């Protein structure tokens, strides 16, 4: 048996009991896939032994990395072996005074943030699920979040990675100068072969890659081959290949992050938009951006209605009594009484180290927006009030999962992005498509990046559930690509979007992705059918049924 064979070569644990296999059969996606085994390697030597075993298994075993399981794409699901990094790869190795940190992939971001803030540093690419996800998952998905408008995504902060490749050896990757890069290429070993092949691939196809690189500020689709070679600095950085690769090219065992100094003060400008404002949305968004917010988020009337329906739970999460919470919601109450439910709520957060200056910036933006667009606004008075809006925005997906009975969150078109200038045309067309299907849904997202999370609420037993997934995906992605966008800004591909990568990039770029996989993982032992070798049948056969 495979379990006995693996148990002989590992010092970590191997599980095949029903309770464990059931727990690892799901993430937060619409899929269910029962693994054959769950393995918890104790260290990098264990990981190497596991990889060598899989490589010698003649296709019997593949390895899919997993940590917290917050992925929304089916990325950590497999019918073979799950490699669980939570039990033993959970150490914060170092946080330096000059703003670097070394950490293992199974560390929860919430714990990592406590350690970095203790030295007044921050990893600013955290996600809305910051209390649940791990740093390894952030790297695997090239995650972004509310601060990505100002600070960018995870790719910007990865300085070095230790990765076990398909030969079972652990390698360290970081940015290399031309001289260092040439020395790597001269090595007569697997690492040298990788550098030679990838250098030739990205240099010879640079024009093609640059032409097909999405013209958006956030993208997690495919392999970021355009990020490997920095022509201006003439440097080569293989960490950029592994960031966002969803464990399909190797298993990450250690991460080195660069950190930033967090701002001390914040004020939020809240904008309540009516339908009439949608025709001016592009200009309105650009006006807000011209004032330099650190974050610029949004949620729609569907999300606000859900939040108002679950006020008791919001009270608990905010630590607020009913009278205090009602007072906090007075701006929304006034809006509803005077003109009905707002169509879209925008949150622009301004930060700095001087409280008075931050407030002045928010108020200047407010005055300009009122003057130009006659839009209702509100500047938060304190951190508690500001956190109310953040709670609705960050918790929208969780609120849906926990409080809508008889239906389930169905993230399958949940992470599209287009340039903000296209929003006045794009959003009405998107809503028109969604409304054809008579389903409840919410749209929230990072409007400053044009990145939206569409979450339908559906009965998985509905007879046309599978057909709706396929039809909506085709139609929404066609619309996104018409505007030069991406099918995933930060959640990545997994089971749900890998079949659409050729549609997004074209056959030539998809073939380059396959060449990378052939080079790095010729036996397909790492997380098969993600990024390359799509299996569209999984979108039907692996769907949850309840």
pLDDT tens for residues 113-128?
A: 999 999 999 999 999 8
User: How far, in Å, are 18, 270, 297, 362 from residue 368 at the CA level?
Assistant: 60, 13, 19, 10
Q: Which of 13-22, 88-97, 123-132, 240-249 has the lowest mean pLDDT?
A: 123-132
* 162 — pLDDT class (breaks 50, 70, 90): very high
> Regarding beta strands 158-164 and 92-95, do their DSSP bridges make them parallel or antiparallel, or are they unpaired?
unpaired
Tokens representing 500?
Answer: 């659409």
pLDDT tens for residues 372-424?
A: 999 999 999 888 788 888 877 776 666 666 666 667 788 999 999 999 888 88
Question: 157: phi > 0 → left, psi -120 to 50 → alpha, else beta; which?
Answer: alpha
Q: Where are the alpha helices (DSSP H) in 322-416?
A: 322-328, 330-339, 355-373, 383-403
Of 20, 19, 17, 30, give the one whose Cα is nearest residue 470.
Answer: 30
Tokens representing 533?
Answer: 């070798």
Q: What is the CATH number of domain 2-84?
A: 3.30.43.10
Asked whether the beta carbons of 469 and 414 are under 8 A apart, the reply is no
Higher pLDDT, 334 or 256: 256
Tokens representing 107?
Answer: 């560390």
265-482: CATH class? alpha beta
Task: Give the containing element (helix H, strand E) for 300.
Answer: strand 295-300
CA neighbours closer than 13 Å in the CB half-sphere of residue 299: 19
Surface-to-core class of residue 451, CB atoms within 10 Å of its CB (0-12 exposed, 13-18 middle, 19+ buried)? buried
Higher pLDDT, 456 or 348: 348
Beta bridge partners of 7: none
pLDDT tens for residues 270-313?
A: 999 988 888 888 889 989 999 999 999 998 887 777 777 766 66
> Regarding beta strands 81-84 and 63-66, do their DSSP bridges make them parallel or antiparallel, or are they unpaired?
parallel
Given a cut of 80, whether residue 247 has pLDDT beyond it is: yes
pTM for the model stands at 0.94
Tokens representing 540?
Answer: 């039907």
> What pLDDT is attached to residue 538?
94
Count of beta carbons in the 10 Å neighbourhood of residue 114: 11
Give Cα 226 to chain centroid, integer Å: 19
For the segment 157-172, the average pLDDT, to the nearest whole number, is 98
92-258: CATH class? alpha beta
Domain-wise residue ranges, the chain: 2-84, 92-258, 265-482
Q: Is the dihedral of CA 496, 406, 346, 28 positive or negative?
A: negative
User: How far, in Å, are 429, 439, 535 from residue 470 at the CA level?
Assistant: 18, 15, 14
Q: Biggest alpha carbon distance in the chain?
A: 73
Residues 6+ apart with CB under 8 A from 338: none
Residues 6+ apart with CB under 8 A from 524: 59, 62, 517, 533
Asked whether the beta carbons of 479 and 418 are under 8 A apart, the reply is no
Given a cut of 90, whether residue 439 has pLDDT beyond it is: no
Q: How far apart (Å, rounded) are the C-alpha atoms in residues 17 and 10?
A: 18
Give Cα 470 to chain centroid, integer Å: 22
Q: How far apart (Å, rounded) are the C-alpha atoms in residues 225 and 204?
A: 12
Higher pLDDT, 440 or 89: 89
Tokens representing 335?
Answer: 């809006």
Residues 6+ apart with CB under 8 A from 404: 306, 440, 457
Residues 6+ apart with CB under 8 A from 529: 495, 498, 535, 538
- DSSP code, position 543: B
Phi, psi of 437 (to 5 degrees): -100, 5
> What pLDDT is attached to residue 310?
65
Q: How far apart (Å, rounded) are the C-alpha atoms in residues 347 and 355?
A: 18
Asked whether the beta carbons of 387 and 318 are under 8 A apart, the reply is yes
Tell me the Cα Rg of the chain.
Answer: 23
Asked whether the beta carbons of 313 and 402 are under 8 A apart, the reply is yes
Given a cut of 80, whether residue 330 has pLDDT beyond it is: no
pLDDT tens for residues 71-95?
A: 999 999 999 999 999 999 999 999 9
Tell me what the pLDDT averaged over the chain comes to. 92
Asked whether the beta carbons of 14 and 49 are under 8 A apart, the reply is no
Higher pLDDT, 545 or 117: 117
Residues 6+ apart with CB under 8 A from 21: 15, 34, 35, 36, 38
Task: Give the containing element (helix H, strand E) for 101.
Answer: strand 100-103
Given a cut of 90, whether residue 356 has pLDDT beyond it is: yes
Given a cut of 90, whether residue 15 has pLDDT beyond it is: yes
* 518 — pLDDT class (breaks 50, 70, 90): very high
Asked whether the beta carbons of 292 and 151 are under 8 A apart, the reply is no
Q: How far apart (Å, rounded) are the C-alpha atoms in residues 132 and 174?
A: 28
- DSSP code, position 530: S
Of 532, 396, 426, give the one whose Cα is nearest residue 486.
Answer: 426
User: How far, in Å, are 70, 123, 438, 468 from residue 540 at the CA level?
Assistant: 21, 37, 21, 11
> What pLDDT is attached to residue 427?
85
Phi, psi of 38 (to 5 degrees): -125, 125
* 366 — pLDDT class (breaks 50, 70, 90): very high
């Amino acid at each position: 048996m495979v379990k006995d064979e693996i148990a002989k070569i590992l010092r970590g644990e191997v599980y095949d009991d029903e309770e464990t296999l059931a727990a690892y059969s799901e993430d937060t996606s619409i899929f269910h896939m029962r693994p054959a085994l769950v393995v918890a390697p104790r260290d990098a030597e264990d990981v190497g032994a596991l990889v060598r075993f899989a490589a010698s298994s003649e296709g019997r075993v593949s390895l899919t990395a997993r940590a917290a399981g917050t992925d929304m794409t089916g990325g950590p699901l497999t019918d073979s072996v799950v490699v669980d990094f939570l039990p033993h790869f959970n150490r914060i190795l170092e946080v330096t005074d000059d703003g670097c940190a070394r950490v293992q992939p199974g560390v929860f971001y919430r714990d990592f943030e406590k350690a970095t803030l203790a030295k007044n540093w921050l990893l600013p690419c955290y996600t809305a699920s910051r209390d649940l996800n791990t740093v390894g998952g952030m790297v695997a998905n090239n995650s972004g979040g509310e601060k990505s408008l100002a600070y960018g995504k995870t790719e910007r902060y990865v300085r070095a990675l230790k990765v076990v490749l398909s030969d079972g050896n652990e390698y360290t990757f970081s940015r290399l100068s031309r001289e260092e890069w040439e020395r790597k290429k001269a090595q007569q070993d697997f690492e040298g072969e990788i550098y030679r092949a990838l250098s030739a691939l990205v240099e010879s196809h640079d024009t093609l890659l640059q032409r097909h690189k999405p013209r958006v500020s956030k993208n997690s689709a495919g392999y970021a081959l355009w990020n490997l070679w920095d022509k201006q600095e003439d440097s080569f950085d293989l960490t950029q290949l592994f960031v966002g690769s969803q464990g399909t090219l190797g298993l990450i065992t250690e991460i080195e992050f660069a950190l930033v100094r967090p701002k001390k003060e914040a004020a939020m400008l809240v904008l309540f938009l009516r339908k009439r404002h949608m025709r001016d949305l592009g200009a309105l968004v650009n006006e807000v951006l011209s004032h330099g917010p650190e974050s610029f988020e949004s949620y729609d009337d569907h999300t606000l209605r859900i939040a108002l329906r679950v006020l008791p739970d919001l009270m608990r999460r905010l630590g607020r009594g009913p009278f205090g919470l009602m007072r906090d919601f007075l701006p929304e109450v006034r809006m509803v009484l005077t003109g009905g439910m707002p169509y879209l709520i925008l949150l622009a957060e301004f930060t700095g180290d001087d409280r008075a200056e931050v407030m002045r910036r928010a108020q200047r933006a407010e005055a300009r927006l009122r003057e130009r667009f006659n839009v209702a606004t509100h500047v938060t008075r304190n951190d508690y009030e500001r956190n109310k809006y953040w709670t609705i925005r960050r918790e929208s997906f969780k609120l849906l999962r926990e409080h809508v009975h008889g239906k389930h969150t169905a993230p399958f078109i949940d992470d599209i992005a287009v340039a903000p200038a296209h929003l006045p045309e794009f959003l009405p067309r998107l809503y028109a498509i969604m409304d054809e299907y008579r389903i409840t849904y919410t749209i929230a997202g990072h409007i400053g990046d044009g990145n939206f999370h569409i979450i339908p609420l559906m009965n998985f037993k509905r007879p046309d559930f599978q057909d709706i997934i396929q039809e909506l995906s085709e139609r929404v992605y066609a619309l996104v690509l018409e505007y030069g966008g991406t099918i995933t800004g930060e959640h990545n591909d997994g089971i749900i979007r890998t079949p659409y990568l050729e549609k997004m990039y074209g056959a030539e770029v998809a073939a380059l992705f396959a060449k990378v996989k052939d080079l790095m993982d010729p036996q397909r032992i790492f997380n098969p059918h993600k990024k390359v070798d799509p299996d569209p049948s999984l979108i039907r056969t692996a769907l949850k049924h309840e």
